Each structure stands twice: as structure tokens, then as C-alpha cells.
Structure 1
Amino acid sequence: MRLRIFTEPQQGATYETLLAVAKATEDLGFDAFFRSDHYLKMGEVSGEPGPTDSWVTLGALARETSRIRLGTLVTAATFRLPGPLAVAVAQVDQMSGGRVDFGIGTGWFDTEHTAYGIPFPALRERFERLEEQLEIITGLWRTPPGATFDFEGSYYRVADSPALPKPAQDGGPPVVIGGLGTKRTPRLAVAHADEYNVPFHQPNKTGAAFDRVRAACQEAGRTKPMVYSAAQVVCCGRDDAEVARRAEAIGREVPELKENGLAGTPAEIVEKLGAFAELGAEHVYLQVLDPHDLDHLELLSAEVLSKL
């Protein structure tokens, strides 16, 4: 199992704060640094100094790190046109030497769309647009050098595209698709994903979602392996007092965190990670909600990561 650090910058983080987290992620032995793709804060926080763009951030971090993988969990398909998004992600992949994982989803937070003038279609249309975006983005990346790419869909048309630039990774960055949808999500994952992620659910629901995607892979005759992963908020402390202090800092209650995330002493967290490992989770994204608490990362590295 690989542990990945996952941040939520819209809650309040500068680029310099994210850079410090990414460098600590690399220095402490974690597998990857991921960030959300949001333009508006959630809950009772100020969100100041305001949002940072995910792919601008990752492009900068690509030049400031050398080992860790970099990605989004997940880019909202509503935010960007597929062609320019394919260009941006391919460029960041080049800048990182092939260390990008590309998470993408429908987008869901309608208020942030209103706040920044972004159209927010109904869910069915968002899924249809996401599917067309996936076909275009991966099609552009996989078009052989010297050939052109065309696509005619209900929402997007691509004609005689040179399909440039190419990502550093052959065929493009691994695609991550997540969610608990019972029909459309498994179908999209089977067709387009290298990794299927279940965010913020207990092991029983996570396992059921994994099984639905496994069944969909088998039904479709997919032979390419699928990576299964989970995302969990993390709140670790050496003792109960330290756990309580970190929970208070992120506005959460310890009992709720223990039920719905990874909270407690390192031994408690290692035990719960074992439950996800038994379900087949190869990656676990540790959602770090206080990006200024680098001591938290040091504890997770020394007492959790070292035990896996």
C-alpha cells in the first residue's frame, strides 16, 4: 500500500504553504502529493487568501520536486475545455518528468460555479460532458506523432488536431476516476480509468464499490489491471490529547473522525489501513486539512508509513 498526501487548498492555503507540504511529502517518503480542484471554500473557514489553481500549482511543484507523483483528486470537467486541459496536463507531465496522475470528475459544488461565472449543467449533462472529455483528452494524448485527432460529440467537436504536446508518459498520465455511483461511474472507470477511487467512506461501502467496478471490468472483458484506492481524512496523535487538539484545529469531533476517517494513535490508524488493504486498496490518500501542521506529516511518516 502506498500513502499519498491530499490537500484542500480552497480552505485556506497559499502556494508557499502547498510547496512546504509537497517538499515534506517528498522528504518524508510518501508516494504522492495531490490537491483538490475547487475555487470556493467549504464550511466555517475564511478560505483566505483565496483559491489557487490546481494545474498552475502542480506545474510549479513539478519543478520543485523530483520523486513524488503529482495529481488532482479531482479536476472538475466543468472548469475547463478538454483540448486546453489536455495541453495543460501534458505540459505538467513533461515538466515533472512523467510524474502526473490525472484525476477527473463531473464537478459537483454548484456554489463555486456561481461564484466564478462557470456554467453548471444538470448531473446527466455533466456525466455526458465528462465522458466526451475523457475520450478527447486520452485520444489527444494517444494519437501517434505526426497523426491528427478528430472527435464529433454532442458537446465538443475536435477537427484535424495535431494532438500536441505529448505527455512524458507513454499514452498519457494514469487516469483516476472516483465516486460511489452504481452504474455510470463503474462504466466510465472500466472504459477510461487506470485507478478507481472511493472518497471518504467506511470500509464496508468502499469494498462494495470496489466490487461493483470489479464486476463491471469482468462483464466488459477488461484485462488491463485496475488500481483501487481510497481517500480518508487523517487526524493522528501520539495520545488522546494530541488527537483532540488536531481534531479541534480542523473543526471536527474525534468520535466522528474515528467513525468516518483515519483518526487516533498511529497504531489505530495502521489497523484501519489494514482493513482497506484487505479490500484491495493499493493507494490511500490521506486528506490533510491543516496544511500548516508539518509535524503531523512527520508523525505519520515515522509511525504509520514506516509500519506498512
Structure 2
Amino acid sequence: MQMIVHERRDEADGVLSLSLVPAGGGELPRWTPGAHVDVVLGNGITRQYSLCSDPADRYRWRIGVLREPRGRGGSEYVFDKVHSGDIVEVGAPRNHFELARADRYVFVAGGIGITPILPMITHAEREGAQWTLLYGGRTRTSMAFTEELAHHGDRVTIAPQDESGLLDLAGLLGTAAPGTLVYACGPEPLLGAVADRMRGWQPGALRVERFAPLAVEPAGAEEAFEVEFHASGITAVVPPGASILSVAEDAGIIADWSCREGTCGSCEAPLLAGRAEHRDSLLSEEERERQDAMMICVSRAERGCSRLRLDL
């Protein structure tokens, strides 16, 4: 859908926000905390950004963008080329970081990882749930939305590394808390440290979102396998080194995609038969065990499985 940049605002050093409204007016699609959208940029690339506005606001969406000079060009384009009044193409919200119901939440954010956490806090407040936030960054001036968080008082701990050192995860997560869910988003070292501190917690208590793909060790040397694209009536071979997505495209099958690295969820396809070796950075262990969907940009057939059937 086409949306107008209603407001562009500097939120911190190297971080800006864009408030977006429908170009044709009217209400926006409903979304839930943790959702992100694809933004199609004028340089021909698509990037995913977490929605960080109020999910109850049906007339405005907000995204936060971190400038990454060593990135792939998306953030540089936003900073240099996208201004108030511009029109951008935005996809429908998708959510692989859903906020489940709980009596209490612990939120941990690092840097731009605060963006999906903001609507979670808004929702938790509205539902009357208990929650706390530990928010870290390199410096106080690099941490976005701190003024917005200030009115929550001592439920929010702002911990810039140059002032406080590393986040006190031992104090926050050292003791398992039944009925509590932990949501963490940020750089991989932070997510790894959170997971390490929660080894004694109940399974499923930790939910994470990554902005970069998790390093996945293949189960062995890649083997060729067949894929039946059930809805298209086409069967094709996926050779070693190729992805199901690329084979689908070569066969003329239209499949959604955006990141091609297993982090955005755009290419998720229903798995009707066979077993997948999941190499994405999105699905939980429970979701992987169900074997009913897979990310076709990175995942393959499990060793010993010669054929998959996908609803594509």
C-alpha cells in the first residue's frame, strides 16, 4: 500500500523515526505487538522495520531506522532520500515475534532492538500486566525513545554501556520466575547472553527477535532433493548449493521473499509432506517440531528425506 511520510524525526544519534499515514486516507490494517512491515525503497531494495507505534492507532504507523554505514544501503537511503511528504510502498504487517499472554513480562532491548518492544509495553500496560524493561546501548545519546519511556518510572532501566558497563543480566534473570515471559531483541551477543542466563528457566520462557541471521551449522553435506509445488502442479529438483526459493523462481512460481537470509518470514511456505531441516532464525523449537511450515530461502529437506511437498 502507498503511504505518506507524515513526520520524520531524529530520535537519537544515528536513529530516526518515520510516521506513516495511508496515502488515500482511511484505516490501516490491524497489527499486533512485535509485527514488522516491508518498506520498498526507491533504490530497488526492500527492508523490514518493526512497527513501534501504538497497535490501537488505526491511522498511523511508526518505524525506527538505525543508520548503518556498513550495511547494504537501505538505511543510508532512508536517511539521505526519504523526507516528510514522500510516498513509500509498505507491505502488510507480519509477526513472528508475537506477544503471548502472561502475568508478567521482562523486556530486554539492545540498541535499535527497542523498536518491537515499545508496542509490547503499550499492550502490557493496557492489559494491566506486570512488566520491566532493561534497555542498553553504547551511549545515552545513541539510545532512541528514552524520553518516551521515561514516564514509566522505575519499571524502565536505561543502561548505556559507557556509563554502566554491560547489562546486569544476572541480577535480572538469575532466578527463574514461573509465569514470566522474557522478550529480547538486539545484537546477537546480547541475545546469546540472555539465553545463557535463562538455562534454568522453563522451556519457552524466552522469545527473541534477530536483525541478523543466526549462524546455523548444516547437519551434513547438502544433498539434492525433490520439491513438489502442490498448488502449481510442478515438481523440481533442488541441487546442493541452491535454495528452494531460487528453484521456484526458475520454474516460474511466484513466491514472496524479502531478506533471503531467514530473518523476515516473507517466504514462509506451508509444508504438506516431508521433513525440513530448518535453517532460519525465526521459528521456535516447538514450531520446528510441528514440521508444517518452512522458510524456503534458507531451509532444505532433512537428511534422508528425498521429497518435500509445499503449498506453493
TM-score range, shorter chain: 0.3 to 0.5
- How high is the TM-score relative to the length of structure 2? 0.32
Higher helix share: 1
> Which structure is richer in relative contact order (CA contacts within 8 A, separation 6 or more)?
1
Higher strand share: 2
- How high is the TM-score relative to the length of structure 1? 0.33
